[in-house]
Amino acid sequence: MREVIDGQQRLAAIVNFFDNEISLPKSSANLGLAGRTFNTLPTKASDRFEEYSLDFSVISDADDSEVRTMFLRLQMGVRLNAAEELNAVAGGMRNYVNTVSALTLFSSRAAFSDARGAHRQVAAQSARLAIAGFGDVRKKDLLEFFASHANCSPDAKAKLLRQVIEWLGTVFDERDPFLRNRGQTVPAIYAIYSLWPDAVFAGQESAVKAAFRHLDEEIVGDGPEVADYRLALAHSSDQKRSLEVRHHTMLDAIARWAPKLPRRDAQRLFSPEERAAILYRDGGLCQAKGCGLAVDFASFHADHVVAWTKGGATVLANAQVLCAVHNLAKGSS
Ligand SMILES: [Zn+2]
């Protein structure tokens, strides 16, 4: 059994509104919707109401005194939301999330506003999934995640996530309705992140955009294929079970409408035989422009000319000798 501790009246008002028992206030005149009941709204407006998701916290196994304490805390004034509380946790993960949430995907592709740190929250939720593993991304989970990663500098997973978010920023040309809320943007990011090690996404921007477009038509329309997705988006959208449904819907959309993504060459390292062949072919010299440093077998770097992370294959034709300095220089560019 569940009981509403705070927000009973607001919930009742929402339910009554969807039941057409109350109408929008006169003050909504500037939208041309003043005094309308839900069933008289234009579809575009009623869709926005139906797609809007509410955040809530659930406490379980609480005794009366805990419930009273919670109620008092809730009445103490305007609480910080997740993004605002997260921003108060200093440290490496906070800095990482702030940087990532300023990338193009958020600054000029997301169709939801950054009011009250919504972009940071999406970045934080994506980071929690990518770096700490699939799970709940409620405020308390994110706070724990930030606290436990306060002293870390970005690891390989964090770098990969950043790369995915940078790439997704090139998929869309402008603020895109597909990225209209947090609940749809987080699983979109995570789906690409989870496929990235196996598929080559560079050059596949329009294919992936088309897949998202097809999916969105089903979501916005009455497509029965995505009824589970719609339900998941409307309920507990920060919880693992809801995320799982949405994640699988995204993967399924990419499989259905972008089935020809090139597979990545699973082999990233050159074998000793290949290394020997590369060193011999390049005359034992660093191939970086203007370098020509003589290197030996033990210390030279067999470099992918087209980076492996961009789909470059692990074959001699895509290999070159680099000295340590130029390998590092290339890696950080
Ligand atoms: Zn060099």
Residues 95 and 34 in one domain: no
| DSSP category for residue 197 | T
Is residue 208 included in any domain, yes or no? yes
> What pLDDT is stored for residue 306 in this prediction?
87
Residues 249 and 313 in one domain: no
Quote the Cα angle for 64-66-70, to 5°: 115
pLDDT in tens, 38-74: 988 888 888 888 888 887 776 666 667 666 666 666 6
Residues 69 and 101 in one domain: no
pLDDT in tens, 95-115: 999 999 999 999 999 999 998
- Cα(129) to centroid of ligand 1, in Å? 38
Taking each helix axis as running N to C, give the angle between helix 156-171 and helix 205-220, from 0 to 180 degrees, rounded to the nearest 10: 80
- Cα(149) to centroid of ligand 1, in Å? 36
- Cα(290) to centroid of ligand 1, in Å? 8
Is residue 89 included in any domain, yes or no? yes
Residues 125 and 26 in one domain: no
Residues 94 and 239 in one domain: yes
- pLDDT tens digit at each of 333 positions of the chain: 677 777 778 888 888 899 898 888 876 555 678 888 898 888 888 888 888 888 777 666 666 766 666 666 666 655 667 777 777 677 889 999 999 999 999 999 999 999 888 999 999 999 999 999 999 999 899 989 998 888 877 788 999 999 999 999 999 999 999 999 999 999 999 999 999 988 889 899 999 999 999 999 999 988 788 999 999 988 878 999 999 999 999 999 999 999 888 888 777 889 888 999 999 999 999 999 999 999 999 889 999 998 887 778 889 999 999 998 998 888 644
> What pLDDT is stored for residue 320 in this prediction?
96
Residues 69 and 87 in one domain: no
Is residue 228 included in any domain, yes or no? yes
- Cα(113) to centroid of ligand 1, in Å? 46
**Which token pair is 282?**
């390049």
Q: What's the N-to-C CA distance of the chain in angstroms?
A: 56
Q: Which residue range(s) make up the domain with 35? A: 8-75
Of the candidates 232, 257, 282, which is a domain's last residue? 257
Is residue 262 included in any domain, yes or no? no
- Cα(325) to centroid of ligand 1, in Å? 6
- Cα(319) to centroid of ligand 1, in Å? 14
> What is the spatial distance between Cα 228 and Cα 24, in angstroms, rounded to a whole number?
29
Is residue 3 included in any domain, yes or no? no
- Cα(326) to centroid of ligand 1, in Å? 5
Is residue 264 included in any domain, yes or no? no
- Cα(307) to centroid of ligand 1, in Å? 17
Taking each helix axis as running N to C, give the angle between helix 227-234 and helix 43-51, from 0 to 180 degrees, rounded to the nearest 10: 70
Residues 128 and 56 in one domain: no
- Cα(330) to centroid of ligand 1, in Å? 10
Residues 210 and 247 in one domain: yes
Of the candidates 228, 257, 286, which is a domain's last residue? 257
Residues 90 and 236 in one domain: yes
Residues 236 and 322 in one domain: no
- Cα(166) to centroid of ligand 1, in Å? 29
Positive/negative CA dihedral, 149, 152, 153, 154? negative
- Cα(288) to centroid of ligand 1, in Å? 5
- Cα(282) to centroid of ligand 1, in Å? 12
Is residue 131 included in any domain, yes or no? yes
> What pLDDT is stored for residue 79 in this prediction?
62
| DSSP category for residue 6 | S
> What is the spatial distance between Cα 72 and Cα 66, in angstroms, rounded to a whole number?
10
> What pLDDT is stored for residue 331 in this prediction?
66
> What pLDDT is stored for residue 333 in this prediction?
43
Of the candidates 75, 90, 105, which is a domain's last residue? 75
Q: Is the pTM of this model over 0.85?
A: no
Outline where the chain has alpha helix (H): 8-18, 43-51, 64-75, 82-87, 92-100, 104, 118-132, 139-148, 156-171, 182-195, 205-220, 227-234, 240-257, 272-281, 324-331
> What is the spatial distance between Cα 161 and Cα 148, in angstroms, rounded to a whole number?
18
- Cα(308) to centroid of ligand 1, in Å? 20
- Cα(300) to centroid of ligand 1, in Å? 10
Q: What's the structural domain count of the chain? A: 3
- Cα(270) to centroid of ligand 1, in Å? 19
> What pLDDT is stored for residue 59 in this prediction?
67
Residues 205 and 238 in one domain: yes
Cβ contacts of residue 159 below 8 Å, gap of 6+?
A: none
Residues 250 and 134 in one domain: yes
Is residue 216 included in any domain, yes or no? yes
